[in-house]
């Protein structure tokens, strides 16, 4: 019998039992020495699982990271939105209560081929900032009408530290700095206004 690679064995075993977009997101970083795979999941314990699954995943996954703010994570938001739709709860209020800069949800409670789109606050849709600021997910929910795809987009807020959002500010961000003290002293008109 031919030896199979770890990747083929991982896929053949079906360890995660679900679509990758619903359960986790992947981030690949290729370095000259190794290829690093970072898995960000809302429940890291469920991804690691029992003893056998944990040993299989440690060869593939080096560092699981827990998502601190689930309201800013589109995969978790879309997954819980699917459960709310199955339960028949009002979805609009649930979508708008996150701490995101903006949120957009489409395809809700459709009897025919129609969809509702909710937008709140600031939503960008073109250019390079979309790749950095927009987090999107599309889960599939089985309803009475059939399979329904829910598309969730969340605009992340700018974070200079890079923990809750991207480090780079939006191109249209304008910062107004206070004039320096020596400039105020050199201009007598400004000096009189300040006093």
Lowest mean pLDDT among 64-73, 74-83, 115-124: 64-73
State whether 141 and 87 are in the same domain: yes
State whether 11 and 40 are in the same domain: yes
* Interval 18-69: pLDDT, tens: 444 444 555 556 666 666 666 666 666 666 666 655 556 566 555 556 666 6
CATH of the domain at 99: 3.30.1140.32
Are 59 and 74 found together in one domain? no
In a domain, 184, yes or no: no
Domain span including residue 106:
70-155
Does residue 177 lie in a domain region? no
Task: Read off the tokens for 177.
Answer: 């700095």
Burial class (CB in 10 A: 0-12, 13-18, 19+), 70: middle
**The domain boundary residue, chosen from 51, 66, 81:** 66
Point out the domain boundary residue: 27, 48, 66.
66
Q: Which of 126-130, 162-166, 175-179 has the highest mean pLDDT?
A: 126-130
Q: What is the pLDDT of residues 133-160, one digit of tens each?
A: 888 888 777 777 777 777 778 888 888 8
Number of domains into which the chain is organized: 2
Closest listed residue to residue 146, CA positions, set 107, 116, 111, 105: 111
Closest CA to 75 of 120, 27, 112, 121: 27
């Amino acid at each position: 019998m031919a030896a199979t690679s770890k990747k083929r064995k991982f896929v053949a075993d079906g360890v995660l039992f679900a679509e990758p977009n619903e359960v986790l997101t992947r981030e690949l970083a290729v370095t000259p020495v190794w290829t690093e795979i970072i898995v960000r999941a809302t429940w890291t314990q469920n991804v690691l699982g029992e003893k056998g699954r944990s040993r299989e995943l440690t060869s593939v996954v080096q560092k699981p990271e827990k998502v601190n703010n689930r309201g800013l994570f589109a995969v978790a938001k879309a997954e819980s939105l699917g459960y709310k739709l199955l339960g028949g709860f009002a979805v609009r209020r649930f979508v708008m209560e996150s701490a995101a800069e903006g949120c957009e949800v489409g395809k809700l409670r459709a009897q025919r081929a129609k969809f509702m789109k909710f937008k709140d606050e600031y939503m960008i849709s073109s250019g390079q900032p979309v790749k950095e600021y927009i987090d999107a997910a599309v889960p599939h929910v089985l309803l009475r009408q059939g399979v329904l795809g829910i598309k969730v987009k969340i605009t992340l807020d700018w974070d200079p530290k890079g923990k809750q959002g991207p480090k780079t500010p939006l191109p249209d961000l304008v910062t107004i700095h206070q004039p320096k003290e020596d400039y105020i002293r050199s201009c007598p008109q400004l000096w009189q206004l300040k006093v």
